[in-house]
Amino acid sequence: MGKLNSITIAAAFFMLVLASCHTAKNATHIASHPSKNPKFIDHVTIGGKGSNNIQMHVIQGKHDYKGSDGTIVITKKERVELQEKYAEKVGIPDKKIQNLSLYTFINQWYGVPYQLGGTDKDGIDCSGFAQRLYAEVYGIDLVRTAYEQFEQCKSIRNSDKLREGYLVFFGTKKRITHVGVYLGNNHFVHASTSEGVTISSLDDPYWQSRYAGGGKIVGAEE
């Protein structure tokens, strides 16, 4: 009888361990796959004073690192190099490159090849790039496709009203086919099918003829 009880207890323990492993595996699977229906966060300012950008500090040291509070830290030399590089690409004075978290993100992704459906540095598509940029720079979850992102925005047809961080959309009369993130001076960053992640101009005849308007996050404050 004692032997039977030992076997029963052992069997119960084995089933408990098995169930725990299965639960842990499921939990890991769920955590690695975000919601299929992410939503915009209301009352978030994109660009300008009061922006909800992830904070970045500039230090005098030789190496960049993450501070104890998780903020990104770059050296003064790296800041200057970043400003000079992207001021030239956007066609604005160096001092106007102030959103260091945005341009550091762009710098890390610049030149990554285009891949339809891609979401990482092996290859990424236009809406995937916009989604990752918003998540990592602004802490905002965007929906996945360019059309869905267009539907979630307040449309801004006049390019004079675009601000840094607004989405810009392109397509035909029937559908939205491409999305980028506005930087300033009529320039935007996006994942191009021919060049990968790059910076282009709305004044380029190709993009000008396909421009469908800008997009401001629903509920965002000016």
Quickly tell me which residue has 């965002």 as its tokens.
220
Q: Which pairs with CB-CB distance under 8 Å and at least 24 residues apart come from 114-123? A: 114/191, 114/192, 114/193, 114/194, 114/195, 114/196, 114/197
Asked whether 65 and 58 are in contact (CB, 8 A), the reply is no
Give the residue numbers annotated as catalytic, written as ranges. 126, 178, 190
* Token output for 189: 């960053």
Q: For 131-158, give one letter per residue: b (16+ CB within 10 A) or e.
A: bbbbbbbbebebbbbbbbbbebbeebee
Q: How far apart are CA 113 and CA 125, in angstroms?
A: 9
- Select from 174, 141, 168 the least CA-distant residue to 155: 168
Which residue, among 102, 109, 104, has the nearest Cα to 82 in the 3D structure? 104
Cα–Cα distance between 206 and 11 in angstroms, integer?
A: 69
**DSSP state at residue 184:** E
Cα first-last separation, the chain: 77
